[in-house]
């Protein structure tokens, strides 16, 4: 299970379920269970900052882990991917060692993020950041075109079609969307 991409120094939480091999029903991870974390393609894991709770909240078979990435800033460095793996424990007498129970990365896979760690960047349902979404909310049906109406360029009205193309009489030589996005504005 992929947990996401996080900032270094945060605590990453995850849950997993262990199942009894003979029945497939949830079953307690027993023995002296433990988890370790593998970084990228390395063969040496770390248990720094890792805590495990079996039968979390009294639920049989539900495991909960917390990984404090501030516990070892060198190991939990940004730009890396991590796998959380059972390092010790059995399920109804059957070994569970080597089972991957979670994956996460630290500042590696998110394409859009604030430049300052710990800050958020609001993104609206339309995929624009907060200021752009607010502008569209104030001017529904109006989209800046050719420099934008706030910069002195012409304001043209139309509707946004799938793929980000405009449809309407102000575009594409008067034909519904024809030519828009191909540099054939008339």
pLDDT tens, 89-141? 999 999 999 999 999 999 998 666 666 666 666 767 676 766 554 555 555 55
Same domain for 90 and 16: yes
Q: Tell whether 21 is covered by a domain.
A: yes
Q: Tell whether 151 is covered by a domain.
A: yes
DSSP-derived letter for residue 57 is G
Closest alpha carbon to 64 in 101, 103, 105, 104? 101
pTM of the predicted model as reported, rounded to 2 decimal places:
0.63
Same domain for 100 and 30: yes
Q: Is 165:158 a contact under the CB 8 Å cutoff?
A: no
Q: Is 38:75 a contact under the CB 8 Å cutoff?
A: no
Beta strand extents in 46-153 (DSSP E only): 50-53, 62-68, 80-91, 94-95, 100-106, 142-144
- Residue 134: count other Cβ atoms within 10 Å of its Cβ: 13
Write out the two tokens for 118: 């710990």
Same domain for 97 and 41: yes
Q: Tell whether 121 is covered by a domain.
A: no
Write out the two tokens for 40: 């990228």
The domain that contains 92 carries what CATH number?
A: 2.60.40
Q: Tell whether 184 is covered by a domain.
A: no
Q: Name 50's bridge partners.
A: 67
Residue 91's pLDDT is what? 98
Parallel, antiparallel or unpaired: strands 159-161 and 165-167: antiparallel
Q: How confident is the model at residue 86 (pLDDT cuts 50, 70, 90)?
A: very high
Q: Tell whether 179 is covered by a domain.
A: no
| Total domain count, the chain | 2
Summarize the confidence of residues 35-45 as an average pLDDT. 97
Same domain for 146 and 78: no
Q: Tell whether 115 is covered by a domain.
A: no
Tens of pLDDT, residue by residue over 41-61, are 999 999 999 999 999 999 999
Residue 109's pLDDT is what? 80
Same domain for 148 and 64: no
**Domain span at residue 155?**
130-174
Residue 99's pLDDT is what? 98
């Amino acid at each position: 299970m992929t947990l996401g991409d996080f900032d270094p120094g945060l605590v990453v939480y995850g849950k997993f379920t262990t199942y009894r091999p003979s029945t497939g029903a949830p079953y307690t991870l027993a023995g002296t269970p433990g988890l370790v974390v593998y970084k990228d393609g390395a063969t040496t894991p770390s248990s720094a900052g890792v805590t495990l709770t079996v039968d979390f909240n009294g639920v049989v078979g539900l495991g909960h882990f917390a990984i404090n990435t501030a516990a070892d800033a060198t190991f939990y460095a940004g730009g890396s991917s991590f796998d959380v793996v059972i390092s010790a424990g059995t399920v109804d007498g059957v070994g569970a060692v080597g089972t991957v129970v979670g994956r996460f990365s630290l500042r590696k896979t998110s394409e859009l993020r604030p430049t300052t760690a710990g800050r958020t960047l609001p993104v609206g349902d339309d995929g624009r950041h907060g200021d752009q979404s607010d502008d569209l909310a104030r001017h529904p049906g109006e989209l800046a075109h050719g420099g934008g109406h706030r910069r002195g360029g012409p304001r043209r009205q139309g509707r946004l079609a799938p793929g980000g193309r405009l449809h309407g009489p102000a575009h594409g030589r008067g034909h519904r969307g024809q030519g828009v996005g191909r540099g054939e504005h008339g």
